[in-house]
Amino acid sequence: MAQVSIVSCPSYDPAVCRQALLDALEPIGGLDFVREGMKVGIKANLVSFMKPEAGATTHPVLLSELTKLLKERGAASVVIGDSPGGLYAAAYVKNVYRATGMHETEAAGAVLNMDFTQKEAENPAGAVAKRFTYTGWLDGCDAIVDFCKLKSHGMMAMSAAAKNMFGVIPGTMKPEYHYKYPNAADFARMIVDLDEYFKPVLSVVDGVVGMDGNGPTMGDAKPMGLLAASRSPHMADLVCAELIGLGRRDVPTLEAAYERKLIPASWQELDVAGDVDSFRVRDFNNIGTKNDVVFFGEMLFGEGINPFKKAFGKIMQKALSSRPGPNRDECVGCAKCAEICPAKAITMRDKLPRIDRGKCIRCFCCQEFCPKGAMKVTRPVIARILNK
């Protein structure tokens, strides 16, 4: 049985999506986890009020076709849910369901989650998240399917299967978790803790149309024409990173998974069904990451542990790391960035955001949730040169 599968899915036509799902699932064991009468929860990516064609959210046609397959297999009910960035309450989430086209899935037999309780988890096995608050609807599910979108991401470089599970944290609490784990490596370890706590039985990646550039919400819709699937969100992500021109060390969640021996050092060590080369998106516009610092350190000091490299890394982190910055021509002065900033690093002056770089923790919440896409990921000149 393959560990990851990749198949062609050139459009969101229902028949095309159904066949692509069948083709993607068959090499990894299909839906053999489904038992008669069970309740399956699909954790979709419904990050914000985004139309399906924007490429930011899991497409409703794919969710509808998977719902049909699950019910045909014997699932008694299929519940689709997420906690978008914002109030985790009925009125807010209903509007997100409407904007993202989720009501289409009801015709296929799905139920949209309307349980907005919050629960506390004790997680002694976690690397950093020993205790966390999560969305209570997941407790009623016999199995969880992680159905994500393949996108660029300011803080994590890539948003796919592992990052999608951050949506189990209630919306208004997400900035708190960014503030609690300001270091990208620890934030990634927290995400892997969530993955390992909830253990989705299946991860499916919607890469029919993804998002590159200023992702994960205000980038450009990117046609890729593919679906990927795996029993492991981390293995799915290791292959997806390769498809968009990223390596393991470019994506903090992959490094965190590698630390815990959840993935091998390279995608080539996985059993992949599908021709990786044929699915590469060679013009994918990635956001630069902190790993320019790692690369420059290894160029000077070599790989492995080195006290000089460690000291160098601390000195150069600020000089080379990507950071958020407003595009003055696109900013409308709504102050959403200042409201959502967990570090309170943004103030409004003359209707423009001013970022205190000493306070900024580079969580990119301002960039992710700017309603106009005016907050961009910017890279220092030296980092851009080194990347070339």
Say whether pLDDT at 289 is over 90.
no
**Distance between CA 370 and CA 326 in Å, rounded?**
10
Q: Which of the two residues, 224 and 304, has the higher pLDDT score?
A: 224
The predicted structure's pLDDT at residue 296: 45
For residues 270 and 264, the answer to whether their CB atoms sit within 8 Å is: yes
For residues 47 and 365, the answer to whether their CB atoms sit within 8 Å is: no
Average pLDDT over residues 9-35: 98
The DSSP secondary structure of 84-99, one letter per residue, reads -SS--SHHHHHHHHHH
Say whether pLDDT at 163 is over 90.
yes
Please give the share of the chain, as a percent, with pLDDT higher than 70: 89
Is residue 278 classed exposed, middle or buried when 0-12, 13-18 and 19+ CB atoms within 10 A define those classes?
Answer: exposed
**Distance between CA 323 and CA 364 in Å, rounded?**
8
Spatial CB neighbours of 122, under 8 Å, sequence gap ≥ 6 = 130, 131
216: cis peptide before it, omega within 30°? yes
pTM of the full predicted structure? 0.87
Q: Are strands 157-159 and 77-81 parallel, antiparallel or unpaired?
A: unpaired
**Beta strands, E only, 57-130:** 77-81, 110-112, 118-122
Spatial CB neighbours of 312, under 8 Å, sequence gap ≥ 6 = 297, 300, 301
Say whether pLDDT at 386 is over 50.
no
Average pLDDT over residues 208-220: 96
The predicted structure's pLDDT at residue 21: 98
Phi-psi domain of 48 (left: phi exceeds 0; alpha: psi -120 through 50; beta: other): beta
What mean pLDDT value characterizes the chain?
Answer: 90
Structural domains present in the chain: 4-279 (3.40.50.11440), 291-387 (3.30.70.20)
In tens, the pLDDT along 63-112 reads 999 999 999 999 999 999 999 988 999 999 999 999 999 999 999 999 99
Distances (CA, A) of 376 to 47, 153, 203, 245, 323: 18, 11, 29, 21, 8
In tens, the pLDDT along 319-333 reads 556 788 899 899 999
When pLDDT is cut at 50, 70 and 90, the band that residue 27 belongs to is very high
In tens, the pLDDT along 291-312 reads 444 444 444 445 555 555 455 4
Average pLDDT over residues 179-193: 94
